[in-house]
Amino acid sequence: METIINPSKAQWSEILQRPTKTIDDIENTVTQIFDDVKRNGDKAVSKYTSLFDGVDLKSSLVTSLEIQKAVESVPSELKQAIQLAKANIETFHTAQKNQNVDVETTRGVRCWQEKRAIQKIGLYIPGGTAPLFSTVLMLAVPAKIAGCTEIILCSPPNKNGQIANEILYAAQLCGVTKIYKVGGIQAIASLTFGTETIPQVYKIFGPGNQFVTVAKQLATKYGVAIDMPAGPSELLVFADDSANAAFVASDLLSQAEHGTDSQVILVTTSKVIALQVENEVKKQLEVLPRKSVAEQSISNSKIVYLNSIAEALELINEYAPEHFIVCAKDEAFFIDGIINAGSVFIGNYTPESAGDYASGTNHTLPTNGFSKSYSGVNLDSFTKSITFQKISEEGIKNIGQSIELMAEAEGLQAHKNAVTIRLKDLSYKCHIE
């Protein structure tokens, strides 16, 4: 890890740059595949599955028999762990249900808001070297709580044409409607347009590599919503002398092993901790099964030393991390002051891994600085709010003249007339009575 001592603010932008390609580098590829899937449907999907995943499939749909075999293959202890995680995720996301807003804004004018589930959603679950069955829980559990009626899951097949047993078990446990062996850009395109076998959805959820992230952004041009631009994983840790260097190093490596394009950063006000963490990273890295992946990620990562916690917080908010760990004497300073972060983990005994799996919070979070404007996935991500209003005779009398004046000032005579005709009707009724 590169260590940077007291960088000037002019250097921050360069220091905090993510190790990702620009959209221009990959947008042409994504656009070509989208166009192909839109025109040729399943035929195009099969072609790209063969090209990118190295497997030819007769059908991309996972059968009930495959699901049954997968469920039977998952060890009972792992099933119990997944069930515990599911229960905690259910508890946290069920607590996010809000009462409907119902208010009388003016006498006779009642306005209220109700939430409705998004009916058709698509879940993208990364596979590859680390099949993320935990992401199934993070997405399907709140979808079911929200009341989504159709939950379509896509995940890339392995070289044997299979999806990991754990992904299938989690999907079955959480009530996923249909599962397809489709990954990458072609999966997002399929969910966007629909094919002969894969249904079109209204909103797409789930993390992925840079190609998947750009594909999701392209999907929005075709009227399909997305949860957020969630790309390669990232973690920023603030640690002072109160931190445990071994713990900090383990957290940094936990995210570094996600992928070669992941990034981890340590910000500290302690040169002692900076050196200790650097040594611990080297030590722990040597025994990791995914050493080669983590090693490349660590090469993109940095240790930044700053003189004060105030300056540290300013830099952290500028970076806007996906995951933010605070190991500090004055943790309240960071809790109160953090503005831009996907999810925050506080104290020496709160590893980021807890949020990834079983504490109950959601791990589908905005990356690449998007936590400045996006929230992580939550229950509201699977719903939309509809406003209602009912106006009585008294109510239209109370606000009618204001509407007429405003409509006339904007030059919208028909808007004004829609009110005037009602007021005249009420005036006539009142005269008759």
CATH top class, domain 392-432: mainly alpha
Which amino acid, residue 385?
Answer: S
Please tell me what DSSP assigns to residue 150: E
Q: Is 72 a catalytic residue?
A: no
Token couple for 167: 């992904």
Residue 61 is predicted with a pLDDT of: 97
Instruction: Output the pTM of the full model.
Output: 0.92
Task: Please give the residue that has the higher pLDDT: either 17 or 327.
Answer: 327
Does 378 show up as a binding residue in the annotation?
A: no
Beta bridge partners of 327: 239
Q: Note whether 202 and 382 are within 8 A (CB).
A: no
Lowest mean pLDDT among 76-90, 123-137, 375-389: 123-137
DSSP string, 333-396: HHHHH--S-SEEEESTT--HHHHHHTSSS------TTGGGT-PPP-GGGGEEEEEEEEE-HHHH
Q: Is 257 a catalytic residue?
A: no
The boundaries of every CATH 3.40.50.1980 domain in the chain are 2-20+232-360, 23-107+117-228
pLDDT at 430 over 80: no
Helix (H, G, I), strand (E, B) or coil at 281: helix
**Cβ–Cβ < 8 Å for 377, 226:** no
Does 415 count as an annotated binding residue?
yes
pLDDT higher at 344 or 24: 344
102 is in an annotated binding site: no
Q: How many residues does the chain have?
A: 433
Q: What is the pLDDT of residue 97?
A: 95
Q: Residue holding tokens 């009462």?
A: 99
Tokens at 68, concatenated:
């049954």
Residue 429 pLDDT greater than 90, yes or no: no
Could you tell me if 83 and 169 are in contact, meaning their C-beta atoms sit under 8 angstroms apart? no
Give 433's pLDDT tier (boundaries 50, 70, 90).
low
State the chain's mean pLDDT as an integer: 94
Judge whether residue 134 has pLDDT over 80: yes
Residue 124, annotated as binding a ligand? yes
* Structural contact between residues 37 and 218, judged by C-beta atoms closer than 8 angstroms: no
Instruction: Check if the beta carbon of residue 320 is closer than 8 Å to that of residue 370.
Output: yes
Contact by Cβ (8 Å): 286, 298: no
One of 323, 352, 404, 408 is an active-site residue; which one? 323
Give residue 387's pLDDT. 97
Q: Which fold is adopted by the domain 23-107+117-228?
A: Rossmann fold (3.40.50)
pLDDT given at position 209: 82
299 against 398, higher pLDDT: 398
Distance CA 268, CA 365 (A): 24
356 is in an annotated binding site: yes
Say if residue 209 carries a ligand binding annotation.
yes
Tell me what the mean pLDDT of segment 254-266 comes to: 90
- β-pairing, 302-305 with 263-268? parallel
Higher-confidence residue of 266 and 427: namely 266
What is the pLDDT confidence band of residue 233, given thresholds at 50, 70 and 90?
Answer: confident
Evaluate whether 362 touches 93 at the Cβ level (below 8 Å).
Answer: yes
Highest mean pLDDT among 21-35, 279-293, 384-398: 384-398
Q: State the pLDDT confidence band at 64, using cuts at 50, 70 and 90.
A: very high
Lowest mean pLDDT across 97-101, 147-151, 237-241, 316-320? 97-101
Q: Spot the catalytic one: 234, 257, 278, 322.
A: 322
Q: Is the pLDDT of residue 76 over 90?
A: yes
CATH 1.20.5.1300, the chain: domain bounds? 392-432
323 is in an annotated binding site: yes
Tens of pLDDT, residues 401-427: 999 999 999 999 999 999 999 999 998
The whole-number pLDDT of residue 210 equals 83
Is 150 annotated as ligand-binding? no
Q: Domain 2-20+232-360 is in which class? A: alpha beta
Residue that has been written with the tokens 């790209």 in this structure = 48
What b/e sequence results for 181-199 when a residue is b if at least 16 CB atoms lie within 10 Å of its CB, and e otherwise? bbbbbbbbbbbbbbbeebe
Examine the pLDDT at 129 and tell me if it is beyond 90.
Answer: no
Query: Which of 277, 196, 187 is CA-nearest to residue 240?
Result: 277
Which residues touch 379 (CB under 8 Å, ≥6 apart)? 93, 94, 96, 97, 142, 145, 146
Question: Is residue 21 over pLDDT 70?
Answer: no
